[in-house]
Chains A and B, each alone.
Chain A
Amino acid sequence: MPRSANFWRIALPAIAVVVFLVGWSVYVRTAEVSAFVLPPPEAIAVALGHLILDPNLWYHARITVTEAVSGFVIAVTLGTVLGFLMARFPPVEWAAKPFIVLLQLVPKIALAPLFILWFGFGLESKIVIAAALAFFPVFSNALIAFKSVDPGDSDVMTMLQANAAQRFVMLELPNALPVVLTGMEVSVVMSMIGAIVGEFIGGSEGLGYLAVKYLQELSVPNLFAVVVVLTLVGLCLYLLIGRLRAWLAPWHASSTGSH
């Protein structure tokens, strides 16, 4: 790539972000928007600076991450195993189909209050909500991925007299991994949403709870700062999946692409 193209690739997004922030600040001041509605970015930055230095924030962040990651791990495990079983053993799919379709149609968020009722106000209910939201992206990708073994590749294993376990380890699993990982990328975001929603409606800990608390105190810059922290946490989890992909599926185009 020519040097100037490289330069603009870094400079253009930076300029765009600066223009956006300056525009925001100028708009809030000139249009006299109430700081309760939309604080200027510098006020958010100050609030963020205070928040980050406050150990209390990290306590709440740890709670939310624990809930989201636990829910995510449960969803990935269940989704992958069930996806594999349904792809491999059609009767399992026939039996599970009505439940899957129904559960897929239920807006999972609407079940959140129910989960609070069943699992209490502690971490457990948030983990269940996070898992419920994160399950389907992994599951449906795993189902397709395990079904889409190329018959020609399967013939290779047949000629080599491979048994079922060898087929799974050497063909079905690596073949499915890139698609399952794509599902996981969606799921990790969903599990964050699940954990936060759980904290909104019934919690005394976590970043979702913190956001509600700041709203009640009408501390809008702090509210925005929490959103920024949540975004950063989500970004870290997303990047972690990218690392996982580079490690587990380095051969696949998705590992060398734009991530």
Chain B
Amino acid sequence: MSEHDPALLSAEIDIRGLTKIFGEGATAVTAISKADLDLDRGAFISLLGPSGCGKTTLLRIVAGLEAPTEGSVSIRGLPVWRGRKRSRKATRPVSMMFQEARLFPWYSVAENVALPLRITGASNADRMARAREICATVGLKGFEDHRPAQLSGGMRQRASLARALVTDPQVLLLDEPFGALDAMTRDTLNLGLMEVCARARVTTILVTHSIAEAAFLSDRVIVLAPRPARITNVVDIPFARPRTLDLQRSTAFQDIVADLRTQLMEGHDA
């Protein structure tokens, strides 16, 4: 889509010609092929695409967990990758929520949520108070002292979201955060997430399999197709913010959802 514009160097996240190939020779898998993407500060974009089309891989490269085969990623002008070495400085403002909850079983829910603050050296009282506060906002009040094994799958995801938010990140990478949640809780958390992201102008990349969720939350939806994995389309979502759940009932919204569905299916057939 957009050609490289020097004025966009101020972009919060800048992805240029990103390619990732796993393996070599006959068994090589192209997970991402020449992806270009830029996000201004506070932008909320979603990645939509079939299973195995490279969404997680894209997030992991942005997060500095997987080195790209080609191309570059910059966060606030700092390259995330120098060759195969990740830059701690560039990834400092980034918080990632993984596809699995990834809580540590030896800590309580509150201790898990407080872990990022413990690592940055916050005092025990401060970080636990903050952890309890954020547990309450994701609906885990009363479960702070439970162990992760005592939570349901959806509750673990919420604890994982709380851990991702506890540091007030400037860049948020969310890999199917609400997959295990019921529709009502999902709506509530989506509204909460939009509010947090808007208030702190958090730049967010969300991976989801829900077309409606992508359309509801995002400024832009990136449609990906598999084999070879690539960006097939970028759909701007024009609705004003703040958005309410009523938006989902409007015809304009449903038209966009239908349009996205068609594009996803085309990608599938290609």
A107 within 8 A of B: no
Please give the number of chain B residues whose Cβ is less than 8 angstroms from any Cβ of chain A in the complex.
24
Please, how many angstroms separate the alpha-carbon atoms of A153 and B103 in the complex?
Answer: 8
Residues of B within 8 A of A158 (CB): 64-65, 86
Among A170, A174, A177, point to the contact of B118 (Cβ < 8 A): A170
A153, B148: Cα distance in complex, Å: 14
Encode B70-111 as 1/0 by CB contact (under 8 A) with A. 000000000000000010100110111010101011100000
CB distance from A169 to the nearest CB of B (A): 10
Q: Which of B98, B105, B106 contacts A156 (CB 8 A)?
A: B98
B63 on the A face (CB < 8 A): yes
**CB under 8 Å from chain B, chain A span 126-166:** 152-153, 155-156, 158-162, 166
Q: Are B100 and A152 in contact (CB under 8 A)?
A: yes
A251 touches B65 (CB 8 A): no
Judged by a CB distance under 8 angstroms, whether B147 is at the interface is yes
Q: Report yes or no: B149 in contact with A155, Cβ–Cβ below 8 A.
A: no
Whole-angstrom distance between the alpha carbons of A177 and B104 in the complex?
A: 13
Contact mask B100-128 → A, CB, 8 Å, 1/0?
10101110000000011011100000000
A215 contacts the other chain (Cβ, under 8 Å)?
no
Q: Evaluate contact between A152 and B105: CB separation under 8 angstroms.
A: no
Q: A159 and B104: CB pair below 8 A?
A: no
The answer to whether A153 and B102 touch across the interface, beta carbons within 8 angstroms, is yes
Please pick, from A152, A166, A175, A177, the residue contacting B102 in the complex, using a CB distance under 8 A. Answer: A152
Q: What CA separation (Å) do A56 and B270 show in the bound complex?
A: 87
Distance between Cα atoms of A2 and B96 in the complex (Å): 48
In the complex the two chains form, is B63's CB within 8 Å of A159's CB? yes
Q: Which residue of B lies closest to A156 (CB)?
A: B102
**A252 nearest CB across to chain B (Å):** 7
Closest chain B residue to A173, Cβ basis = B106
Chain B residues 217-258 with CB under 8 Å of chain A are none
Task: Report how far A159 CA is from B175 CA in the complex, Å.
Answer: 14
Please give the number of chain A residues whose Cβ is less than 8 angstroms from any Cβ of chain B in the complex. Answer: 18
Q: Is the interface of B mostly helix, strand, loop or mixed?
A: mixed
A4 CB to nearest chain B CB (Å): 31
Instruction: For residue A52, give the distance in angstroms from its CB to the closest CB of chain B.
Output: 41
A155 interface neighbour in B98, B104, B115, B119, Cβ under 8 Å: B98
Q: Which chain A positions have C-beta within 8 A of B88?
A: 161
Which chain A positions have C-beta within 8 A of B149?
251
- Residues on the A chain within 8 Å of B147, using CB: 251
Which residues on A sit within 8 Å (CB–CB) of B116? Answer: 160
In the assembled complex, how far is the CB of residue B203 from the closest CB belonging to chain A, in whole angstroms? 16
- Residues in chain A near residue B120, CB distance under 8 A: 161
**B residues in contact with A159, CB < 8 Å:** 63, 65, 91, 94-96
Q: Chain B residues near A160: list those with CB within 8 A.
A: 115-116, 119
Whether a CB of chain B sits under 8 angstroms from the CB of A249 is yes
Q: How far is the CA of A174 from the CA of B111 in the complex (A)?
A: 14
Interface check A82, CB cutoff 8 A: no
Contacts of B119 in A (CB 8 A): 160-162, 166, 170
Whole-angstrom distance from the CB of B59 to the nearest CB of chain A? 11
Q: Does A109 contact B (CB under 8 A)?
A: no
Quick one: CB contact mask for B130-161 with A, threshold 8 Å, 1 for yes?
00000000000000000101000000000000
Given A162-B119, A249-B106, check contact A152 B92 (CB 8 Å): no
B residues less than 8 Å from A153 (CB atoms): 102, 104
Chain B hits for A162, CB < 8 A: 119
A63 at the interface (CB under 8 A from B): no
User: In the complex, are the beta carbons of A251 and B105 less than 8 A apart?
Assistant: yes
Q: A170 contacts which chain B residues (CB < 8 A)?
A: 104, 115, 118-119
A106-128 residues with Cβ-Cβ distance < 8 A to B are none
With A166-B119, A170-B115, A174-B104 as known contacts, state yes or no: A152 contacts B98, CB within 8 Å: yes
Q: CB-defined interface of A87-123 with B at 8 Å, one 1/0 digit per residue?
A: 0000000000000000000000000000000000000
Sorted nearest first, the 8 A-B pairs with minimum C-beta distance are: A174-B106, A251-B105, A160-B119, A251-B106, A160-B116, A159-B96, A162-B119, A156-B102
21 A-B pairs in the complex with CB atoms less than 8 angstroms apart: A152-B98, A152-B102, A153-B104, A155-B98, A155-B102, A156-B98, A156-B102, A158-B64, A159-B63, A159-B65, A159-B96, A161-B91, A161-B92, A161-B119, A161-B120, A162-B119, A170-B104, A175-B106, A249-B106, A251-B106, A252-B105
List 9 extra interface pairs beyond A158-B86, A159-B63, CB under 8 A.
Answer: A152-B100, A152-B102, A155-B60, A159-B65, A160-B116, A160-B119, A161-B91, A161-B119, A252-B105
B contacts, CB < 8 Å to A? 60, 63-65, 86, 88, 91-92, 94-96, 98, 100, 102, 104-106, 115-116, 118-120, 147, 149
